[in-house]
Amino acid sequence: MNTRLLIDNTIKILIWTSALITVGVLVWILLYILVNGMGELSWNFLTTIPRGEDGGIFPMIISTLYMIFLTVVISTPIGVSAAIYLVEYAKPGKIVKLIRFATECLAGIPSIIYGLFGMIFFVTVLELSFSILAGALTLSIMVLPTIIRTTEEALKAVPFSYREASLGLGASKLRTIVKIVLPTSISGILTAVILSIGRIVGETAAVYLTAGMVPRIPTSFMSSGRTLSVHLYILAKEGISLPKAYSTATILIIIVFLINITANKLGNTLKKHKKA
Amino acid sequence: MKKDIRIKKFYEKTVETWFLLCAIIAILFLGIISIYLFLEGTPAIFKIGLKEFILGSKWMTSAEIFGIFPMIIASIYGTLGAIVLGVPIGIFTAIFMAEIAPEPIVKIVRPAIELLAGIPSVIYGFFGLIVIVPIIDNIFGNGGNSLLAAIIILGIMILPTIVNISESAIREVPKSYKEGSLALGASQIQTIFRVILPAARSGILAGVVLGIGRAIGETMAVILVAGNTPLLPESITDRVRTMTSNIALEMSYAFGLHQEALFATGVILFIFIILINVALHLLVFRSEK
């Protein structure tokens, strides 16, 4: 009996230790980067262009914003429409299974493969050259599974009685979707968009091979641009400036932080809806 | 009036078709990606020779010798190492979240894991470069950039995937299993390891397989810490180059057969990913049965 207790307690300690390691690693990473990066942060850093070891990250911020905007504009309508089809129209069968399988596979493909594909297809075959547009098109395919899946969950959370009431009043199926289902699930759809913004901001490999890495302010969607993540990669890889790398990493962490908080807030509203 | 209804019906049908087309885009792009990758990559494999390409242990671009065996091995070692490191910690953390931790602690740990999942891979790489690599250098005096550094960073990166999926698998085990076991006099720990974990097995395995996919596909974080020498590693402290790093490092300046060989590396990586996805599909399918 005593050995049993001993074994149980040892395992319990292992379990607590594992959880501590998981959280500890996160705290370690965050503190290390924030402590070293916060000092260098200044308004100047955010609003000037880089000059060798000096200067700021203004062009990268603009490129990242362009990339987010264009990717969201391309992928959201497609992803939401696909989710609407899967939840509201599709009857279980081969097509749905195939779509599910394809979405799963797309989610499992590593970003470097997306980068390779984007480089052949968008950059070379469609002759978009290394540009924000080529990067955004590549990223749009990449975030599609996230948008479809999250929106599907949101649509499924809308109670059936809502649809029945609307249809019962004589509204058409499409009208029910547009006027009842979509407005009810709007916070879920926004969560999908926020989650994809997180992936767009954090992506390096796919962007680097499709949008290039020119550290200039992009003048249009057809110019090449260097996003914040690519900038951090280059700073770290080439060892250009450690302080600048710390502060760029800090900015990225702050963005990820904000994205997580927003997604959580939206998730909570969705839960409240479910209960109502 | 009749005409009005017909127009309305036509309109409804058009929009429905649009929804269907959007849903099919996923299939379409999976197809296009596979086709283009194989079209660009397979000619090089035939030019170089399948055996020379996959089993060749030398990668010398100037001499047009392209063998990716060391990189395949590095990818496999890196992934296996990450699994050895990340899976026990991940599963134990999942048990902690689902069975052991009091509710207030769960409320603190869950956002932490979400944040861990949201941190961009380049930040993991940067952290590895400035923190983990110097520590390894201090211990082994090997410069620090090594397979070991890659394993540690990948092990951390797959944690959230394994924790999240294992935790939901554990939570899905019917309460009656647990109650039955406890009522028969088993302790909490016995119940977890003898009853709950076996019941959640296929879900946990799915998490591990997804972790494998993430580890083998990771690029930027690995480049920053692994040293990138395209040689067969003899020990865990050697510098290595994975398949993903090979593509990202050389793609920007490659042309001709060299560029094709990089696409071919992508094809081999893609085949690994397909195998992992099929394994995942079988697992999920079996658990649904």
Rounded CA-CA distance B207/B201 in Å is 10
Long-range contacts of A235-241 (CB under 8 A, 24+ apart): A236/B122, A236/B125, A236/B126, A236/B129, A236/B224, A237/B223, A237/B224, A240/A52, A240/A53, A241/A53
Mean pLDDT on A206-218? 87
Nearest CA in chain B to A10: B189
> For the residues A149-158, what does the mean pLDDT come to?
90
Q: Residue A54 pLDDT more than 80?
A: no
Contact B240, B233 (CB under 8 A): yes
Hey, of B14, B39, B40, B122, which one would you mutate to test binding to chain A, going by the most A CBs within 10 A of its CB? Answer: B122
Q: What is the pLDDT of residue B287?
A: 61
Tell me which chain A residues have a C-beta less than 8 angstroms from the C-beta of B114. 260, 264
Q: With residue A245 as reference, give the H or E element that holds it.
A: helix A242-275
Indicate yes or no: CB of B23 within 8 angstroms of CB of A90.
yes
pLDDT in the model for residue B39: 92
Q: Nearest Cβ partner of A19 from B40, B93, B251?
A: B93
Helices and strands: H and E segment counts in chain A: 13, 0
Contacts with B142 (C-beta within 8 Å, 6 or more apart), sequence order: B136, B237, B238
Residue of chain B minimizing CA distance to A144: B26
A117-126 residue pLDDT tens:
999 999 888 9
Average pLDDT over residues B132-161: 93
How many Cα neighbours within 13 Å face the side chain of B175? 0
Unique residue bearing structure tokens 């978009």: A128
Among B175, B172, B159, CA closest to B207: B159
Tokens of A16: 């607590």
Chain A interface mutation, best of B126, B187, B222, B244, highest count of A Cβ atoms under 10 Å: B126
Burial of A96 (0-12, 13-18, 19+ CB in 10 A): middle
User: What's the gap in Å between the CA of A13 and the closest CA on chain B?
Assistant: 10
pLDDT for position A229: 92
Q: Residue B166 gets which letter from DSSP? A: H
Closest CA to B186 of A4, A9, A6: A4
pLDDT digits 0-9 by tens, B74-94: 999 999 999 999 999 999 999
Identify the pLDDT of residue A83.
94
Which residues of A are less than 8 Å from B7 in CB distance?
A: none
Confidence of residue A172 (pLDDT cuts 50, 70, 90): confident
When pLDDT is averaged across residues A130-157 and rounded to a whole number, the result is 92
Write the residue in B23, B127, B247 that is nearest to A116 by C-beta.
Answer: B247
**pLDDT attached to residue A250:** 93
Q: Which of A8, A81, A145 is closest, CB to CB, to B22?
A: A81
Average pLDDT, chain A: 88
Residue B258 DSSP class: H
Question: A109 to chain B: which residues are within 8 Å by CB?
Answer: 33, 217, 270, 273
Torsion sign across C-alpha atoms B126, B132, B135, B139: negative
- Look at A33 and B127 and tell me if their CB atoms are within 8 Å: yes
Measured in angstroms, the CA of A146 and the nearest CA of chain B are apart by 12
pLDDT over 60 at A110, yes or no: yes
Interface touch B123/A237, C-beta < 8 Å: no
- Beta carbons of A202 and B40 less than 8 Å apart: no
Q: Which residues in chain B have their CB less than 8 angstroms from residue A32's CB? A: 127, 130-131
**Where does the pLDDT of residue B12 fall: very low under 50, low under 70, confident under 90, or very high at 90 and above?**
confident
pLDDT at position A274 over 70: no
Residue B49 has a pLDDT of 87
Residues on chain A touching B127 (C-beta within 8 angstroms) = 29, 32-33
Q: For A76-98, what is the mean pLDDT?
A: 90
> A9-29 pLDDT, tens per residue?
999 999 999 999 999 999 999
Spatial separation of the C-alpha atoms in residues B262 and B247, rounded to whole Å = 5
Q: Least CA distance to B188: which residue of chain A? A: A8
| Maximum alpha-carbon separation in chain B | 86
What's the gap in Å between the CA of B162 and the closest CA on chain A?
A: 11
B144 to chain A, minimum CA–CA distance in Å? 15
**Chain A residues with CB-CB distance to B262 below 8 A:** 116
Q: Which residues of B touch A202 (CB under 8 A)?
A: 118-123
Determine which of B4, B29, B245 to mutate to test the interface with A (most A C-beta atoms within 10 Å). Answer: B29
Q: How far is CA B46 from CA A108, B33, B38, B68, in A?
A: 27, 20, 12, 14
Instruction: Measure in Å the smallest separation between the Cα of B63 and chain A Cα atoms.
Output: 24
Bridge partners (DSSP) of residue B60 are B65
Distance of CA B199 to the CA centre of its chain: 24
Q: Across the interface, which of A32, A101, A117 has its CB nearest the CB of B131?
A: A32
Distance from C-alpha of A61 to C-alpha of A226, rounded to nearest angstrom: 9
Q: Which residues of A touch B92 (CB under 8 A)?
A: 14-15, 17-19
Quick check: B289 pLDDT over 70?
Answer: no
- Distance from the Cα of A103 to chain B's closest Cα (Å) equals 6
- Residue A178 is given by DSSP the state I
What's the first-to-final CA gap in chain A, in angstroms?
A: 50
Strand partners, A54: A51
Fold of B54-288: MetI-like fold (1.10.3720)
What is the per-residue pLDDT across B191-224, written as a single tens digit (0 to 9) for each? 999 999 999 988 899 899 999 999 999 999 999 9
Shortest CA distance from A113: residue in chain B: B266
Write down the residue that tokens 């300046």 correspond to: B253
Cβ-proximal residues to A144 (8 Å cutoff; 6+ apart), any chain: A75, A78, A79, A82, A103, A106, B25, B26, B29
Quick one: pLDDT at residue A271? 63
Helix B256-288 vs helix B2-48: crossing angle, to nearest 10 = 120
User: What's the pLDDT score for residue B92?
Assistant: 95
Q: What is the mean pLDDT of residues A255-270?
A: 84
- Pick B96's closest partner by Cβ from A16, A86, A148: A16
Q: How many CB pairs under 8 A join A and B?
A: 242
Which of chain B's residues have a Cβ under 8 Å away from the Cβ of A237?
223-224
**Three-point CA angle A122, A127, A129, nearest 5°:** 80
Q: Do residues A133 and A69 lie in contact, with contact meaning Cβ atoms separated by under 8 Å?
A: no
Chain B residues in contact with A67 by the CB 8 A cut-off are: none
